[in-house]
Amino acid sequence: MAKIAYLGPEKTFTEQAARVMFPEAQPSALIPIQPIRNVIRSVDAEDAEYGVVPIENFYNGEVRQTLDSLIECSKAKIVSEKSFDIVHCLGALPNHTTIKQILSKDQALEQCSIYTCKKYPNALEISTTSTSEAARIVKDESRLNAAVIASESALKSYGFEIIEKDICPNNKTRFIAVGKYTPKQTGDDKTFLAIHPSIDRLGILSDISSAFKLFGINLEYFHSRPDGKKGYIFYAELGGHQEEAHVARAIDAVKYALDPKNNFPDTIKILGSYKNTHWKNED
Amino acid sequence: MAKIAYLGPEKTFTEQAARVMFPEAQPSALIPIQPIRNVIRSVDAEDAEYGVVPIENFYNGEVRQTLDSLIECSKAKIVSEKSFDIVHCLGALPNHTTIKQILSKDQALEQCSIYTCKKYPNALEISTTSTSEAARIVKDESRLNAAVIASESALKSYGFEIIEKDICPNNKTRFIAVGKYTPKQTGDDKTFLAIHPSIDRLGILSDISSAFKLFGINLEYFHSRPDGKKGYIFYAELGGHQEEAHVARAIDAVKYALDPKNNFPDTIKILGSYKNTHWKNED
C-alpha cells in the first residue's frame, strides 16, 4: 500500500489536507512525520509515495523550510496544491477568570495578533508545539486565567467555552503534495522555480520578470532571499506548465540572461508543475 | 527618559540588538513588549520613542508581522537596521540519555532543521515560547532524554553539557529600530516600500522592477504576497534614500505605472529610509 507522509502531529490542518488531497488513501497509509524536511526527504528517498506539507499562509507568508527542502532534493517535486480556510477561535475553561495568558502554536499566535493585541493587549503569549497541545496544557493544569487559540472543534473536544469565533478572518493556508512524477498538462497549470544567479548584478529582477512578461506569463508569486553567500535565490511561481512551449522558452530566456555561457547548470531548478487551483481567489 | 520598547521577553537576541542599537540608553529605559505588533504600535502611539523588532532571518525569511504592522501604522517607520550572527548550540543535562526530544523556540527549530534531521531524525521536536524557556523546562523536569537548542551562554547558565556548537552555520537575523522621524541621508541608504496595486494585471512585477532599473536603483529585497482580497502587496527594499532625486522619481514612475489617474493614494507606502549596513555581506 502506498504510503503518504504528512507533517505531523495528527489531528492538524495538514492531516486534514492529506485526507482531502488523497481521498482514496486508507487511514493507515497516512504517516505523520516531523519536521517538514523529513516529510519531503521521505519522498525523495522513496520511503513514501507522496508527502503533504504547508507551503504558504496568508498571514505568516511562505514556509521557507518547504521551499529549501525541495531545492535540496533531487526527485521530490510539487505535484498538486490545495488551500483551506483556517478558522481560529478563542476559548477558555468554562469557569475562567480574567485572561492573562494566551497559548497556541507560534504561527497561530502570529495570525491572530491583530485581534489579541486589540482585545488582550497585556496578555502574555505562550507558544506550544500545536494548537491542541495548548488546549491540553490549559485543561491539565486548570489554568483559569488562560485562553487558547485553536479550531472550534478542538476547543470543544477539551470542554472549553468559546469566547470568540473566527478571530483571524480570511485566513488561508496552502498545502502541497510532493511526489516523484510531474503531472500531465491540464491546460491551467502553474510551475514553481528556484532561480539562483551565480553572479549578482543590478537589474536581475527586472530581467527575470521582463522575460516572463515577454512570453505572456503571469508571475503569481515572487520572492528574493539571501542565499547566505552574498547572492540571492529567487522563488517564482508562474502561470503555465513546464512542458508548454512558451513556458519552456521563457525559462530558457531567463537562463540565458543570467548565465549566457552556460557555466552554471544549477541556475534554475524547476520545483514542480501542477494544476492551478486559483486558491487565492476562492471564496 | 526616552523609552525604547523591544520584542520581549528579556535575555533574547532582540534585547541584545536593542542594547547595541541604543548604546546610550539606560537599562531601565528598555521595555520588553509582546508581540511585535504592540512594539511597533507603542511607537506609533508615542508611548515609546523607539522600538526594536526582528525583520528577517536567513533561514526563516522575513517577519511578516513586522512588515504588516508598519503598514497599519501612520507614524512609525524604520529608522535603522542591525544584523547579528545567531549561533545556536545543542545541549542537554550532563547525565542525559539517548536524545528522544528536542526543545526550542519554533524559529530556532526551523533554523536548525538540516542538522536535527540528519543527526536526530527520529527525535520529537517540541516548541517553546523562547530558547531559554526550553532550557528551563528540561532542567526543572529533569528530562534526561531531551536536548535544547539555545545560545551557548544560555545552555551553560542552566548547567547543560554542550553536545555540539553552531549547528546552524551562517545564520543571521536582521533587526530594525522603528521611530517617528526619517533619518537624514548618509550617502549610502536604503528605502523600504509597500506597493499595493489596486488593480492586478499581467506584468506588474516587470513594470515595477523596470522602473527601478531605469533609474539605476538596486532592489535588495522583493516579495509579493496575497493581500487577502484577490490582489497582491509587493514589499521592496531598494538602494537609496527617499529624499534622493532619482529614488523619488523612480517611486513616482512606479506610482504612475500602477495608477496613472492617481485614484488610489495608498498605492505606495514608504516604510522608512535608513543607513545601509550591507548586513548580508558582513563577514
Query: Which of A57, A65, A125, A132 has the highest number of chain B CBs within 10 A, making it the mutation to test binding with B?
Result: A65
Mean pLDDT over A93-112 rounds to 96
The C-alpha atoms of residue B125 and residue A282 are separated, in whole angstroms, by 34
- Judged against a pLDDT cut of 60, whether residue B283 lies above it is answered with no
Helices (H), chain B: 13-21, 36-44, 64-72, 106-111, 113-119, 131-140, 152-157, 204-214, 245-258
The chain-wide mean pLDDT, for chain A, equals: 94
Closest CA to B211 of B250, B185, B166: B250
The C-alpha atoms of residue A178 and residue B121 are separated, in whole angstroms, by 19
Find chain B residues with C-beta within 8 A of A213's C-beta.
202-203, 206
Q: How far is A129 from chain B (nearest CA, A)?
A: 4
Which grid coordinates belong to A185?
498538462
Question: pLDDT-derived band of residue A234, with 50, 70 and 90 as boundaries?
Answer: very high
Q: Do residues A117 and B38 touch, judged by C-beta distance below 8 A?
A: yes
For B5, half-sphere exposure in the C-beta direction (CA atoms, 13 angstrom radius) is 24
Chain B's closest residue to A221, CA to CA, is B224
Q: How far is B112 from chain A (nearest CA, A)?
A: 10
- Judged against a pLDDT cut of 70, whether residue A282 lies above it is answered with no
Mean pLDDT over B44-67 rounds to 93
Mean pLDDT over A209-222 rounds to 92
- Asked if the Cβ–Cβ distance from A280 to B114 is below 8 Å, we say no
ipTM score for this prediction: 0.89
Question: pLDDT-derived band of residue B12, with 50, 70 and 90 as boundaries?
Answer: confident
* % of chain B with per-residue pLDDT over 90: 83
Q: Domains, chain A, ranges and CATH?
A: 4-85+172-179 (3.40.190.10), 89-164 (3.40.190.10), 189-277 (3.30.70.260)
Say what the pLDDT of residue B59 is: 86
- Judged against a pLDDT cut of 80, whether residue B282 lies above it is answered with no
CB-nearest to A281 from B203, B213, B230 is B230
The C-alpha atoms of residue B196 and residue B227 are separated, in whole angstroms, by 8
- Asked if the Cβ–Cβ distance from B125 to A129 is below 8 Å, we say yes
Find chain B residues with C-beta within 8 A of A107's C-beta.
106
**Residues B184-222 pLDDT 10s:** 999 999 999 999 998 878 889 999 999 999 999 999 889
DSSP, collapsed to helix, strand or coil, labels residue B208 as: helix
- Judged against a pLDDT cut of 60, whether residue B236 lies above it is answered with yes
Find chain A residues with C-beta within 8 A of B221's C-beta.
224
The C-alpha atoms of residue B277 and residue A224 are separated, in whole angstroms, by 18
Higher-confidence residue: A160 or A12? A160
Q: How far is B46 from chain A (nearest CA, A)?
A: 16
- Judged against a pLDDT cut of 90, whether residue A215 lies above it is answered with yes
- Judged against a pLDDT cut of 70, whether residue B165 lies above it is answered with yes
Contacts for B16-22 with beta carbons within 8 Å, 24 or more apart?
B16/B84, B17/B52, B17/B54, B17/B82, B17/B84, B17/B175, B18/B52, B20/B82, B20/B84, B21/B52, B21/B80, B21/B82, B21/B175, B21/B177, B22/B50, B22/B52, B22/B177
CB-nearest to B114 from A37, A128, A230 is A37
What does pTM read for this prediction? 0.92
- Judged against a pLDDT cut of 90, whether residue B9 lies above it is answered with no
Say what the pLDDT of residue B89 is: 97
- Asked if the Cβ–Cβ distance from A221 to B222 is below 8 Å, we say no
CB-nearest to A203 from B36, B62, B213 is B213
Mean pLDDT over B149-160 rounds to 94
Least confident of B72-86, B223-237, B242-256: B223-237
